[in-house]
């Protein structure tokens, strides 16, 4: 009996030992030796990784998160990603064993969060579906597919002449107060009903400005599919520095995962995401401040030498994935502010060279009442017709040339008195096209209406209309076509092309409307 008991006890012990597993949590613990401007110099973290999440423990047990950036021989230079006043010299710092991760998921839609994913809109906590690393290596060439789907902005001048495709990086550049944010917000509002997830990243802006943008997005029902990431002007430089990467990480979660939250594949497609970075010049200034405080050597305009690499590895994460990887996309709309229209400054030239085109907004045009104030001459999309429906290509082909000819002749016409008939016709057509492309804020236009309006302009139906009546003609004609001939808009929207029958119907509708139009 004793033998049996000993045997059974031995077997039980063996089973217990087999199921037992011990884990050791290895962390480096260091001390803050110097602190200032949100930068901490830490001693004792020999095993820290670059970009690792650090835990600073202040008096009273207050915890502030930080990120390791400088890995020097004798110390680690880290930035604090929270309330810097809670941490003092000689406070304890612990490594976490992993790089900075950003939470994301469907629960974030409709919310305003800080760059670490914490809600700042007073609507309670958010339950994350998953996390993504703050810094992530952009997909290689094999994982990508050519940009071929339109990312309609609803702005006629852009969709007709500077088209943006899903997966593209299109820069919005101009002086302050020229309508850069309005273009981006219109693009977000226009994604309603398309299934596109939008991320609006506000960097270094006043909290009141961000609140105004959120209010507009709510008014037009756009917050249902939008996450606002806000690093306000009052936030420390490190928080402003990580904001665009955090917004991209939140967007990547939707792109790399399907509706069920599982990795995207051919059978589980990823989502299309639109990311607006407003604006990257303020992020560059925050990075310069951090780098100088970390004692990194300054370069041109006192920016650190790797500021180009900072923006290139951020914008390179914009991608159109191939079909095997779920065909998701991340479209980036970075915003850059220029000083007195100087696009040859350091940061503007850097970002222009990284992106696939730029929309240049000009103060002169803005003050002349041309809004959106897009300078068609130096704005360009390097994706071009691949990001347009065929119907738009059919009507907008000559639009850019007509406007370019008009701008060139208008400069000379003011000095000459007698102009030949051909020059007068070019000036007359150009003035009407400029008027036709004017558009108010927050009124994006569906692509079929854009095609019909531009058709009227390029085919000469506006030539006999007074310039001041062009906008009224456009709006009244589109309303007339929608009520009296809805089949024309439906055909363009469904077939994405102007067939001979649709063109005949459109011409007949224009003739019918023009005959009764006053003015």
Catalytic residues: 382
SS3 333: strand
CB 232 within 8 A of CB 202: yes
Residue 508 CA to its chain's centroid (Å): 41
Instruction: Report d(CA 471, CA 440) in Å as an integer.
Output: 11
Angle, alpha carbons 140-141-142 (nearest 5°)? 95
CB 388 within 8 A of CB 159: yes
CB 350 within 8 A of CB 308: yes
Instruction: Please count the residues of the chain.
Output: 519
Instruction: Report d(CA 119, CA 230) in Å as an integer.
Output: 10
Instruction: Report d(CA 40, CA 58) in Å as an integer.
Output: 13
In order, the DSSP letters of 178-214 are SSHHHHHHHHHHTTTTTT-EEEEEEES--HHHHHHHH
Cβ within 8 Å of residue 175, ≥6 positions away: 337, 338, 339, 340, 341, 361, 363
For 53, 171, 432, the CA distances from 76, given in Å and listed in that order, are 12, 35, 62
CB 352 within 8 A of CB 173: yes
| Backbone φ, ψ for residue 498 (5° rounding) | -95, 100
Comparing C-alpha atoms, which of 307, 361, 306 is closest to residue 333? Answer: 361
Cβ within 8 Å of residue 225, ≥6 positions away: 109, 191, 192, 196, 197, 198
Instruction: Report d(CA 171, CA 357) in Å as an integer.
Output: 6
Dihedral sign for Cα atoms in the order 157, 162, 165, 169: negative
Q: Rg of the chain's alpha carbons, rounded to an integer?
A: 28
β-partners of residue 257 are 263
Instruction: Report d(CA 278, CA 217) in Å as an integer.
Output: 15
SS3 479: helix
In order, the DSSP letters of 383-417 are SGGGGS-HHHHHHHTTHHHHHHHHHHHHHHHTT-S
Instruction: Report d(CA 34, CA 142) in Å as an integer.
Output: 46
């Amino acid at each position: 009996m004793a033998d049996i008991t000993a045997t059974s006890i031995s077997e039980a012990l063996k089973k217990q030992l087999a199921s037992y597993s011990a884990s050791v949590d290895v962390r480096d613990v260091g001390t803050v030796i110097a602190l200032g401007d949100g930068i901490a110099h830490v001693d004792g973290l020999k095993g820290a990784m670059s970009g690792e999440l650090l835990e600073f423990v202040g008096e009273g047990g207050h915890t502030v998160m930080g990120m390791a950036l400088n890995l020097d021989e004798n110390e680690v230079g880290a930035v604090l990603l929270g309330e810097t006043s809670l941490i003092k010299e000689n406070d304890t710092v612990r490594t976490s064993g992993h790089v900075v991760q950003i939470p994301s998921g469907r629960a974030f839609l409709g919310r305003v969060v800080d760059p670490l994913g914490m809600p700042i809109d007073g609507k309670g906590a958010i339950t994350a579906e998953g996390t993504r690393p703050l810094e992530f290596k952009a997909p290689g060439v094999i994982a990508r597919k050519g940009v071929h789907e339109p990312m309609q902005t609803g702005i006629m001048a852009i969709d007709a002449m500077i088209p943006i495709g899903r997966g593209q990086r299109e820069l919005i550049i101009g002086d302050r107060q020229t309508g850069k944010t309005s273009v981006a917000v219109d693009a977000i509002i226009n994604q309603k009903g398309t299934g596109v997830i939008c991320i609006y990243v506000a960097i270094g802006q006043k909290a009141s400005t961000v609140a105004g943008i959120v209010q507009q997005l709510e008014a037009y029902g756009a917050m249902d599919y939008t996450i606002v990431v806000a690093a306000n002007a009052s936030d420390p430089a490190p928080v402003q520095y990580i904001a665009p990467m955090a917004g991209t990480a939140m967007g990547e979660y939707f792109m790399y995962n399907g509706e069920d939250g599982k990795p995207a594949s051919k059978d589980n497609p990823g989502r299309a995401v639109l990311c607006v970075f407003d604006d990257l010049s303020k992020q560059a200034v925050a990075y310069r401040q951090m780098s100088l405080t970390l004692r990194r050597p300054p370069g041109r305009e006192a920016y650190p030498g790797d500021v180009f690499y900072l923006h290139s590895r951020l914008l390179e994460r914009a991608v159109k994935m191939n079909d095997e990887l779920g065909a998701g996309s991340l479209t980036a709309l970075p915003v850059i502010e220029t000083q007195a229209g100087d696009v040859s400054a350091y940061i503007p030239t850097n970002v222009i060279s990284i992106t696939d085109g730029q929309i240049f907004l000009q103060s002169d045009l803005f003050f002349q009442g041309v809004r959106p104030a897009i300078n068609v001459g130096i704005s360009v999309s390097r994706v071009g017709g691949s990001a347009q429906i065929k119907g738009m290509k059919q009507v907008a082909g000559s639009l850019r040339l007509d406007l370019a000819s008009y701008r060139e002749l208008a400069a000379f016409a003011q000095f000459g008195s007698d102009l030949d008939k051909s020059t007068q016709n070019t000036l007359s057509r150009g003035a009407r096209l400029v008027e036709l492309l004017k558009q108010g804020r927050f009124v994006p236009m569906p692509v079929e209406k854009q095609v019909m309006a531009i058709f009227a302009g390029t085919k000469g139906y506006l030539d006999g209309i007074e310039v001041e009546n062009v906008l009224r003609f456009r709006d009244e004609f589109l309303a007339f076509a929608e009520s009296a001939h809805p089949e024309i808009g439906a055909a363009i929207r469904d077939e994405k092309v102007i067939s001979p029958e649709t063109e005949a119907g459109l011409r007949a509708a224009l003739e019918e409307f023009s005959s009764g139009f006053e003015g």
